[in-house]
């Protein structure tokens, strides 16, 4: 970053780890626990929802895949790798 660019470094001060789960990791966690998220993820590997209510339902369904310490580890590691 150049001194005159006007951009400032950013820091994430608050993150809901369950909200950071991307579609690929959600599929992995769902498979680990025998859950079906096919209605939430399209063929291109992107989340599907329309409107805030559907987003909240998808958020809840994905959050249900985080059940064990191993799941929590995988979510945290995935987030930290992306943030690094």
Q: Write out pLDDT tens, residues 28-64.
A: 999 999 999 999 999 999 999 999 999 999 999 999 9
Q: Which of 1-5, 12-16, 27-31, 70-74 has the lowest mean pLDDT?
A: 1-5
In percent, the amount of the chain with pLDDT more than 90 equals: 76
What is the three-class DSSP state of 30? helix
Grouping H, G, I as helix, E, B as strand and the rest as coil, residue 83 is helix
| pLDDT recorded at residue 2 | 54
Residue 61 · residue 49 · CB < 8 Å: no
**Average pLDDT taken over every residue of the chain:** 91
pLDDT of residue 13: 86
């Amino acid at each position: 970053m150049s001194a005159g660019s006007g951009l400032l470094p950013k820091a994430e001060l608050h993150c809901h780890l369950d909200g950071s789960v991307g579609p690929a990791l959600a599929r992995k966690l769902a498979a680990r626990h025998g859950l079906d998220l096919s209605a939430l993820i399209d063929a291109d590997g992107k989340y599907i929802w329309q409107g805030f209510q559907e987003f909240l339902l998808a958020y809840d369904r994905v959050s249900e895949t985080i059940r064990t310490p191993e799941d929590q580890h995988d979510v945290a590691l995935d987030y930290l790798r992306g943030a690094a």
